[in-house]
Amino acid sequence: MTSDVLSQLGEALNYSFIQRALIAGSFTAACCALLGVFLVLRRFSLIGDGLGHVSFGAVGLCLLLNLHPVFYSIPVVLLASLWILRLSDKTGVQGDAAIGLTSSVGVAGGLMLAGIGGGYNVDLFSYLFGNILIISRAEVIISVFLSVTVVAVISLLYHDMFVTAFEHESAHVLGIQTGKINTVLVMCTALTVVLSIRIVGIMLVSSLIILPGIAALQIASGFRSTLLLAVLFAVSSIWIGIGVSFVFDLPTGATIVFVNFGWFVMSAMAARHMKRS
């Protein structure tokens, strides 16, 4: 049994579509993990879910106009992320309410466009629930380029993002432009959400952002180790999820999410054990 599974996994690595899935998934998952830690600490983690719903409307529009859904969804979701920040800063609407408002409009827009386009089709369903195994070469290139860009931005602004994540009010007193940092954070999240919809789908995109971060926060002893552990959890969930889904013919996106959830459960149990000992 074990040898058969290992044989199938070895065979899977020879397929180009598996190789594309592993490359794009690994880069995107690493971005999700890094951003997720900052978002969880800022109590802004649900923005991934909100922007995921916005991307539903953007994908619906792209499919209706026969445009590439990933590439042309990026500006729409970026604008939505800035809109959420503006709602919070200028109108007094709390962050979670601003996310909920934007999310509901995004879903309604997607449903409207799906109706205009003649209802749901296979393409729209692949974006709703994810299908990383059919990712194209162009989407791999986009994923790698944007992922490297996001990681570079985080590296350049690491100190300011670190202080803002833990002490938002103190960061402002220290002269850090918290408005700029928040804008960069949500825009990077918007890019990552668009990249993730091919991997786990619009319905599950927030899990790829939230789960690795909260799993790492259970057991890591410092902030840098938290980031590294979150990336390890996220990337390994891609490899394990793709492997398990290939061998047992399971939905890949859902399998990746369950592997991430498994890491969280094990981390929570380990943290509980460490507190007792």
Q: Contact, 21 vs 133, CB < 8 A? A: yes
The domain 2-276 is placed in CATH, from the list 3.50.50.60, 3.90.1150.10, 3.40.50.880, 1.10.3470.10, at: 1.10.3470.10
Predicted pLDDT at 238:
93
Residue 174 identity (one-letter amino acid): L
Buried b / exposed e over 132-156, threshold 16 CB at 10 Å, is bbebeeebbebbbebbeebbebbee
Tokens read off for 152: 């570079």
Who has greater pLDDT, 235 or 115?
235
Tokens 């466009």, located at residue? 113
Predicted pLDDT at 124:
67
Q: How many CA atoms lie within 13 A of 41 on its CB side?
A: 23
Q: Looking at 75-79, 121-125, 240-244, 263-267, which range is the least confident one? A: 121-125
DSSP secondary structure letter of residue 62:
H
Predicted pLDDT at 123:
64
Q: For residue 242, give the nearest of 257, 255, 233, 260 by alpha carbon.
A: 255
89-102 pLDDT, tens digit each: 666 666 667 777 77
Domain definitions of the chain by residue range: 2-276
29-57 pLDDT, tens digit each: 999 999 999 998 887 878 888 888 888 88
The dihedral over CA atoms of 140, 36, 170, 81, expressed in degrees to the nearest 10, equals 60
Predicted pLDDT at 118:
58
180-199 pLDDT, tens digit each: 888 899 899 988 888 888 78
Torsional sign, CA 210, 212, 215, 218 = negative
pTM of the model: 0.87
**CA–CA distance, 163 with 170 (Å, rounded to integer):** 8
The pLDDT-based confidence of 166 (bands split at 50, 70, 90) is: confident
Who has greater pLDDT, 17 or 103?
17
The pLDDT-based confidence of 230 (bands split at 50, 70, 90) is: very high
Predicted pLDDT at 117:
60
Predicted pLDDT at 121:
55
Question: Across residues 145-174, what is the average pLDDT?
Answer: 85
Torsional sign, CA 113, 116, 119, 122 = negative
On the question of pLDDT at 122 being above 80, the answer is: no
Predicted pLDDT at 113:
73
Q: If you average pLDDT over every residue of the chain, what do you get?
A: 83
Predicted pLDDT at 91:
62
Tokens read off for 128: 């709703």
